[in-house]
Amino acid sequence: MLLSVNSRATIPAIIARTSAPAMVIAVRLSMVPPASGYGTTTTRPVEPENSPRGLPKHAPRPGRVKWGHGAGEGTLTKPVFRPFFIALTVGAAVVMAACTTGGPNPPTTSTVGGPPGSAAVNAAVRDYFLNVLGPGDWARMAEESTGNLVTLAGWLQRQNIVPSESSRGKVVIQQQRVTSISGNEAKVALVASRTAEDYQVDYTGTVTLNRISNGWKVADYFMDGQSVAASVFPNVSGGATKSGVAIRPVGVQLLPGQVNVWAEITNHTLSQLSWNQPMVVIDSQGRQLGQGSLYVSSPDDNEPFIMTGNVSAFGDFAIGNATLTLSMRSFTLVTGATSQGSKWPVDLRVPVRLG
């Protein structure tokens, strides 16, 4: 089936509401992605399937998605089945929660004291984690965030991947406490996690909020011990073109165990391309790391993403089993596609520089 890139076809996300209590398992699983702050199937350690997307990691997402769109003009075929973030993507990723029937998420928070004005700050944090990151509402994430989190939400919106309920799991807040409110900045000590069928994410750490004219917005939070805002690199350069196929990096997210490279991908040829070649990253010391997939408009990674001729798309090269330090300023994405009717793939080495 051919899908028009410009059709902007949408399918309402139907989220089942439940009030059943959930047990948070106190076990830290090794997560390898999917998609992206902030996420889906059986864990395969070398693939970006088993961590939440939309955060910013990609979580496994069962069920084939038969819809979606890329960015640009042209026609896409076989949208890929993706593991939301997370991220990611997350997730982002790569970030999800259950709710009471017909209403907002029930408070699961133990709130401890705090300075004057803490009630509004606590409410903003609770809403963000349960009702924004929880269901993977990237439009609201852009509205309720500041700084790099707005940028991350924009990338996730462009992918337009809606995580399934079973894949995203449930976000549970065990405790939150406002530790300081100074001028237009607030800090909250948070103990929270997301638990799904085959992965767990730890959000424990400091949540930073900025007061804007219309309320408190989230500027940063932690995921698996790392600042999410610090993991996002919106100013990147580089790219490569070979045999009529071009990749231009737009942004990067470096997560524990995963590298996400969001990019504009263009097929200038008349032939159909199948992105079925190995995808890895090479760090600045020449070490080859990880293994990944290209995700465009769908969480399906059971089949390679396929592009028809003369089409552009926006996608995420999600490389799992790879960790690059936040201080790294350059690396190389190695990927490739096979043209229909050709035995020889188009291999691309894409230099990526972080500004």
Q: What is the pLDDT of residues 283-297, one digit of tens each?
A: 999 999 999 999 997
Q: Provide DSSP, 135-196.
A: TT-HHHHHHSB-THHHHHHHHHHHHTPPPPHHHH-EEEEEEEEEEEEETTEEEEEEEEEEE-
| % of the chain residues with pLDDT over 70 | 68
Residue type, 142: A
Q: Which domains, and CATH codes, for the chain?
A: 233-354 (2.60.40.4170)
Omega cis (within 30) before 86: yes
**Tens of pLDDT, residues 166-220:** 788 899 999 999 999 999 999 999 999 999 888 899 999 999 999 998 899 999 9
The Cα 79–Cα 298 span in angstroms is 6
Contacts of 338 (CB under 8 A, 6+ apart): 273, 274, 276, 277, 344, 345, 346
pLDDT value at residue 64: 25
Check if the beta carbon of residue 271 is closer than 8 Å to that of residue 243.
no
Full-model pTM: 0.71
The Cα 140–Cα 279 span in angstroms is 32
Q: How far is CA 309 from the centre of its chain?
A: 27
pLDDT 10s digit of each residue in the chain, 355 long? 333 333 323 222 222 223 333 333 222 333 333 333 333 323 333 333 333 343 333 333 222 222 222 333 333 433 333 333 333 333 333 333 333 233 444 444 566 668 999 999 999 999 999 999 999 999 999 999 999 999 999 999 998 787 778 788 899 999 999 999 999 999 999 999 999 888 899 999 999 999 998 899 999 999 999 999 999 999 999 999 999 999 999 999 999 999 999 999 999 999 999 999 999 999 999 999 999 999 997 777 778 999 999 999 999 999 999 999 999 999 999 999 999 989 899 999 999 999 8
